Amino acid sequence: MNQTASPSLFQFVLYMADNCLVLGHRLGEWCGHGPVLEQDIAMTNISLDLIGQARLYYQYAAELEGKGRTEDDLAYLRSEREYTNALLVELPNGDFAHTIARQFLFDAWHLPFLKTLLASPDQGLRDIAGKAVKEATYHLKWSSEWVLRLGDGTEESQLRMQVALDEAWMYRLELLMPAPFEQRLIDAGVLAGPEEIREEWEQTIADTIREATLTTPDDPAVQTGGKTGVHTEHLGHMLADLQYMQRAYPGLEW
């Protein structure tokens, strides 16, 4: 570990990288199969933004670690138990409503959270957040507009959007529940606590659901585990694809 860097900061940066890569990868799965060409392009755009952010975080993590690992080593050579993304982002694409529900719940957290990073005493986090916050602003605009269109569109789209929201609902809170590495950084003043964004996050979700004429799910269940490396069954399959080349042909340049 780089002398001045804390292991918690390294873990946190990896966590952010994994969130972005896993969600970016999922959106990339839509490429060529979107419901209309314009939205195929939009999802690829968001995928590219998130993969770009993931690369910045992985590069920063590699630098903090100081062991000569690269962004690709971190993305391609860690097992599913070592991935610490929140469960929400690894959920399968499902139909377009599921993709939108997952994206919206992520964006509603991501944007205010990035804004708090802009004030972090850590320069590396500030730099990445400075770039990512512009992108996340667009992502939230896109996903919330689609929640409105689908929720307040046709009878079928409303039903599908409601089902998708209900299914994703129990995964949303994990993002706001600090993992041990986050709690240490909160205590050290490197990260803001979840109470700083909770209100804005709740408001965004509630307002959008209301305007979309949807119903707020009343499911009290909360699923967590991603941040400590205990995932859904879906992540392993994703990593089998994602890491295939690096695992099949170790140590080569591509």
Partner 1 sequence: MNQQDLETRFQDKIDREVKIEAKDWMPEAYRKTLIRQISQHAHSEVVGMLPEGNWITRAPSLRRKAALLAKIQDEAGHGLYLYSAAETMGVSRDQLLDELHTGKAKYSSIFNYPALSWSDMGAIGWLVDGAAIMNQVMLQRTSYGPYSRAMIRICKEESFHQRQGYEILLTLVRGSAEQKAMAQDSLNRWWWPSLMMFGPSDAESTHSEQSLKWKVKRKTNDVLRQAFVDATVPQAQYLGLTIPDPDLKWNEETGHWEFGPIDWDEFWNVVKGNGICNRQRLRDRVNAHEEGAWVRDAAVAYAQKKEARKAVVTP
Binding site for partner 1 (CB under 8 A): 21, 25, 28-29, 31-41, 44-45, 47-48, 51-52, 54-55, 58, 71-72, 75-76, 95-96, 148-150, 152-154, 156-157, 160, 238, 241-242, 244-246, 249, 252-254
Cα–Cα nearest to 103, from 165, 193, 159: 165
Angle at 185 between CA 180 and CA 187, to 5 degrees: 95
Provide the 8-state DSSP code for 143.
H
- Which residues are CB-contacts of 38 (< 8 A; sequence separation ≥ 6)? none
Specify whether the CB–CB gap between 139 and 110 falls below 8 A. yes
Cβ proximity to partner 1: between 157 and 183 the closer is: 157
Cα–Cα nearest to 160, from 171, 170, 149, 145: 149
Cβ proximity to partner 1: between 48 and 176 the closer is: 48
- Nearest approach, Cβ of 55 to partner 1 (angstroms)? 5
- Nearest approach, Cβ of 158 to partner 1 (angstroms)? 8
Q: How far is CA 152 from CA 106, 139, 156, 208, in A?
A: 21, 20, 10, 11
- Nearest approach, Cβ of 21 to partner 1 (angstroms)? 8
Rounded to 5 degrees, φ, ψ at 25 are -65, -45
- Nearest approach, Cβ of 238 to partner 1 (angstroms)? 8
Cβ proximity to partner 1: between 215 and 228 the closer is: 215
| DSSP codes joined into one string, 39-94 | HHHHHHHHHHHHHHHHHHHHHHHHHHHTSS--HHHHHHS--TTT----HHHHS---
Cβ proximity to partner 1: between 219 and 241 the closer is: 241
Cα–Cα nearest to 105, from 39, 18, 170: 170
- Nearest approach, Cβ of 151 to partner 1 (angstroms)? 9
- Nearest approach, Cβ of 45 to partner 1 (angstroms)? 7
Cβ proximity to partner 1: between 220 and 251 the closer is: 251
Cβ proximity to partner 1: between 154 and 228 the closer is: 154
Specify whether the CB–CB gap between 22 and 83 falls below 8 A. yes
Cβ proximity to partner 1: between 154 and 216 the closer is: 154
- Nearest approach, Cβ of 173 to partner 1 (angstroms)? 28
Specify whether the CB–CB gap between 57 and 74 falls below 8 A. no
